Amino acid sequence: MDAVISTVMSPRGELIEVKLGDVDEAMDYVHDLEELTEWDDAYERKLLWKIDLFILPILVALMSCQLMDKTTNSYASIMGLKTDLNMSGTEYSWVGSSFYFGYLIFEYPANYLIQKFPLSKTLSTAVIIWGIILMCHAACSNSAGFIVCRVFLGVFEGFMNPSYIKMTSQWWKTNEQFMRTSVWFGFQGFGTLLGAGIAYGLAKNRTGDYALASWRLLYIITGVITILLGIISLIHVPDIPTKAWFLNSKDKKYVVGRVKQNQQGFGSHKWKPAQLKEALFQDVTIWLFFFYGMSYAIPNGGFTNFGSILLNQDFGFSTTQSLLMNMPGGAIDIIAPPLFALFNNYFMKGRRLITCMLVYLICIAGMCLLNFAGDKRARLVGYYTFYIATVVIGGICSLISSNVAGSTKKNIANTVFLIGYCVGNIVGPQTFKSNQAPDYVGAKTAMLVSFCAGWCILCALFLIYSRRNRIKEEQVRELGEKLEHHANIEFADLTDFENPYFRYSL
């Protein structure tokens, strides 16, 4: 049995035994931290630049590739995919949904494997397999085989977002996470630009009969890019920051000191049933993440699979024009999240949930234009406001990173959030009924309702976290001297409920 190394009293007055085998991986590096006699802010700023330079581009590239791969369906649908595979409108809707069935089925096992095994190696292996499966799409001769490929693609996407969220909590402090999450999530727009550009080039320049159809070549090209990035990630990204090849010994001490300020560490490999129970049955915010994920993903599932079809049928653009008209959305994805993160830092005093609520009001106004405006230009403006919602999904990911403590609890929060995301993405394509073409009134209405529901969830999260911080402060004052400070409690792998010094970031 593991020896008890400390006993901690939570703000609720509960005594929590911290055992040697329960602690965070960062505890192994505490002796290095003790060697730091003085904290140098200038040195930390240089270290932050180094982390941004070496880690952020990889997250950006993987996220871009992830969205590029998912939106290949939207491009391929108007490049001959549906005709060559004899797909009906209903079958194509299920192509969009089937991806998320795989995602849904494997989400819990994926999060479990991410916690139990080295993070970078697990993620990179999943990316490489993802690329191989993407290339297999090109070999499909019927809709059934294609749907099977989409299911397996969904299985391996289950590793992606939880890994990015965990890496963000390992490398950056709480007040830095919204900006970094906005950057890596926003740069999915580069995937839209790249994918649309490749699809446009193939559609424009490969006219006539070819042994390999343009849409098949699209899947092969994107698959090769994905495999290459997976290999780079495997070689470049360390499993935990203290194993980084690009950090010197002093850098690694500062990395441990920085993560200590989050009241979290690098994560524990031990799966803790008590944290699972707390997440599922005691913390309502975990379920709010589920419902937010679903509310965001209903429009997302529609746009990902039917965006090009809407531009083609509803707005009247030609096939090649529709492919090009996806590009402004990608540009918005790239630009809007960092801009709103800067706005949040300088004008909202870091209160990202308020910033997210303001962004969603813009999205709601845009969906009203898409639904009710008679002028095509006004409806097109409404169409593009969907891409601003990337700001908010990035904000939610940063909330999970900073506001959910405890390795098992964080993984459960990721799982629940992404299950909601899967459910929404399954439902989204089904709102596009072929008998409602070309304007798809039902789908547009579902998008508007989803954004309104998402705004209400953001308000609820803000109120709950504000109240919890007040209660924690009151409980700490009441406990007074009974609340003995324990050295390195930050690395005890306690949950946000258990750690008396943890405060929620708004």
Read off the pLDDT of residues 119-173 as tens digits, 9 standing for 90 and up.
999 999 999 999 999 999 999 989 999 999 999 998 998 899 889 988 998 899 9
Q: Would you give the DSSP letter of residue 331?
A: H
- Spatial contact of 360 and 450, defined as CB atoms under 8 Å apart: no
Nearest partner of 18 among 505, 479, 501, 489, judged by Cα:
489
In a domain, 422, yes or no: yes
pLDDT at 266: 75
Q: Is the pLDDT of residue 13 over 60?
A: no
Q: How far apart are CA 167 and CA 237, in angstroms?
A: 10
In a domain, 486, yes or no: yes
pLDDT at 392: 95
Q: Is the pLDDT of residue 305 over 80?
A: no
Q: Is the pLDDT of residue 8 over 60?
A: no
Nearest partner of 226 among 153, 165, 163, 162, judged by Cα:
153
pLDDT at 3: 52
DSSP per-residue string spanning 415-453: HHHHHHHHHHHHHHHHT--GGGTTT-HHHHHHHHHHHHH
Nearest partner of 146 among 155, 133, 128, judged by Cα:
133
Nearest partner of 159 among 421, 414, 428, judged by Cα:
414
In three-state secondary structure terms, 16 is strand
pLDDT at 384: 94
In a domain, 498, yes or no: no
In a domain, 168, yes or no: yes
Q: Where is average pLDDT lowest: 358-362, 457-461, 471-475?
A: 471-475
pLDDT at 31: 62
CATH code of the domain covering residue 294: 1.20.1250.20
Q: Is the pLDDT of residue 483 over 70?
A: no
Q: Which residues contact 388 (CB under 8 A, 6 or more apart)?
A: 332, 336, 359, 362, 363, 366
Number of domains in the chain: 1
Q: Where is average pLDDT lowest: 149-163, 387-401, 468-482?
A: 468-482
pLDDT at 39: 84
Arithmetic mean of pLDDT, 76-98: 83
In a domain, 250, yes or no: no
Per DSSP, what are the bridge partners of residue 9? 15
In a domain, 295, yes or no: yes
- Paired tokens of 56: 């952020």
Q: Would you give the DSSP letter of residue 240?
A: S
Average of per-residue pLDDT values in the chain? 86
Q: How far apart are CA 471 and CA 372, in angstroms?
A: 45
Q: Is the pLDDT of residue 247 over 70?
A: yes
Q: How far apart are CA 420 and CA 245, in angstroms?
A: 37
3-state helix, strand, coil in the chain (%, to 5): 75, 0, 20
Greater confidence (182 vs 307) lies with 182
In terms of C-beta density within 10 A (0-12 exposed, 13-18 middle, 19 or more buried), how is residue 137 classed? Answer: buried
Q: How far apart are CA 495 and CA 417, in angstroms?
A: 18
pLDDT at 1: 45
Question: What is the crossing angle of helices 89-116 and 143-157, to 10°?
Answer: 30
Greater confidence (178 vs 324) lies with 178
In a domain, 503, yes or no: no
- Paired tokens of 125: 């292996």
Q: Where is average pLDDT lowest: 135-139, 330-334, 379-383?
A: 330-334
Greater confidence (71 vs 16) lies with 71
- Paired tokens of 223: 């698959």
Predicted structure pTM score:
0.85
In a domain, 223, yes or no: yes
Domain that holds residue 157: 4-241+270-491
Nearest partner of 394 among 463, 338, 327, judged by Cα:
338
Q: What percent of the chain has pLDDT over 70?
A: 90
- Spatial contact of 25 and 493, defined as CB atoms under 8 Å apart: no
